[in-house]
Amino acid sequence: HCLPTLKNAMALEEEKLHRKMGEQMFKSVVNLIVDLENELLLYKGIKREALKIFEAEDCMVHVIDENLAQKVIDMYITSQRSSRKDEPKMDINEINLPKNCTITNIVAKKGQIINCKHTPRDPYAHPDIVRIEDGVWILRNSLTFPIIVCDRVKGVVKVFNKITAPHFTVYDEENATGFGLACGLVMQSARHYRRVEEKYFYRQMVDCMLLRISKIQECNQISYKIPECVPMVDNLLKLKFNPYDMIGEDLVPYVMLIFYKLNILPRFKIDEDTFGSFICGIFKSIPNLPFHNELHSFNAFHFIVLLTSFTNIQNYCKLTLTELLMLLIAALAQDMDWRGATTPFQFIRGTSLAGLYTSPGMVEKRLVISQLIRLLTMDDYNIFKFMSSEHYKLCLELLYDMIIATDITHHVLKKPAISKMVYNGFKSDNIEHRKLLHGLLMNIAQLSIFTKSWATYEEASKRIVQEFFRQGNLKHIQKGLDYGQIDPIPERVASMHIEFIDNYCLPAFELLENFVPLAKKCCLRLMEFRYNWVIIRDENMSKRLKELEEELDKMEKDKESESSSSDEDEEEED
């Protein structure tokens, strides 16, 4: 009767002991997870938890590299070779030891647990890693076990001097196996955590670099609250609005006021301060080039507002509120970090952008998308942070398609499909039709500056000549061609505008005319401006012909005078 009872009691005590060890192990793992951020704190945490679990006086944590060199964390070091008993001990955080010097090497090689019940008899005890108190050894016993990560020994834990028993028991050895695996799991998680942290730090570093490259300066959010009113500009809500009348004006309040009037921000739960920083960040990242500057972006944004607010295109095409918001943002952001050079020029010069975006065409537009997405990943500029993941993904896809569509080459490739869509009829439930419509609207928005007054067109023409002929000069210098081949003479500029109107502007607005009657006015103005350019071309060509005739007459007279003088000289010689 007593023997079964005794066995049951021993089994119960053993179960309680294992349960207690399991609870301690779980608490230790939880405590170690807190120290994942810092490697040194993690090793010190392993030491702290090992002392609690094994009820020991001291502990060493060795980190073993591929060459089995030991890095000892947080230990006391003295030199036994010195005969001075008053020599102070040194407390350092970590030291490096050569391999094959201690019992740790055996544990690291074989991955087994070694329970040394009498440390003074340990033949592997290293004389430089001991703890001395008044010249008396205080190490009595030790338990050494491996830290295993993915079936490989990555470290060794060595605990000294069992407090509650003469030496470490079999239960301690069983517990050491689980603790070693738990430490390995935490160490592996710590390495993964550090990799994630390094990636996050790298992303922050790239953000800072892009901020410097794009010159996105810190915005004063107080001045970018949605204003009650802004100074009115002539024809601001009309088609003939001249963006160059706003030179020197801060455009952010106007944009915010327009968004407020459209009642878009509350529907998407966009914070006012974040939205102000986002718009400010877009404008600050647009370089101050002669033509492609913030005024050009604001003009495209203004035209999208006119199309969607003062025409029936939104009802006819059933544009959603998300599509409208993305159209407005894409119009504002289409010239972010524009380098003042087209895609062929990037490849001719072999720039870093051409190497980064190796796919044919649209190099500068891919850079714009990259900059915009990078801006949206920053907390202070992310206006989409309250959206669901599906909605956020949809917004990025729409922005990508709309900004790519502003490339002239892309528009020319899509023109047959757009014409077919217009001829067969627009279907609002067709996703491809909606994409084609978005591209058409974006192209027309950036071409709308040529449908203003003739004075606006002339000003835009001067800026285009100033920007793009500079690029042409650089291109010809790169190819080793004559600099004079690209002299922007007036008749050549006029011919280029005529060709541009015939091949790009008029066809685009004629396609839009099937959706919006307003486009007919734009077509009439373009035809009028084309006639003006024809007159300018003919006048300059006639002037040029007269100059050439005068030069030829002058050259003939010079030849005649030279021939007559030569005849006189011959007669005198005769």
Per the annotation, binding residues for Zn(2+) are 296, 335
Binding residues: 296, 335
Q: Are 34 and 187 in contact (CB under 8 A)?
A: no
Secondary-structure percent of the chain, ordered helix, strand, coil, rounded to 5:
65, 10, 30
Task: Exactly one of 292, 411, 433, 438 is catalytic; name it.
Answer: 292
Structure tokens at 63: 């980190």
Give the C-alpha separation, 433 to 418, whole Å: 8
DSSP secondary structure, 549-574, as one string: HHHHHHHHHHHHHHHHHHHHHHHHH-
Strand partners, 75: 92
Q: How many CA atoms lie within 13 A of 1 on its CB side?
A: 0
DSSP secondary structure, 25-40, as one string: HHHHHHHHHHTTT-HH
Of 219, 294, 302, 292, the C-alpha closest to 259 is: 302
With vertex at residue 312, the alpha carbon angle to CA 310 and CA 318, rounded to the nearest 5 degrees, is: 125
Give the C-alpha separation, 450 to 457, whole Å: 5
Of 357, 305, 384, 298, the C-alpha closest to 333 is: 298
Query: Does the active-site annotation cover 433?
Result: no
Give the C-alpha separation, 91 to 77, whole Å: 7
**Other beta carbons less than 10 A from residue 4's beta carbon:** 8
Per residue, the 3-state secondary structure of 39-83, as one string, reads: HHHHHHHHHHHHHHHHCEEEEEEEEECCCCCEEEEEEEECCCCCC
List active site positions.
292
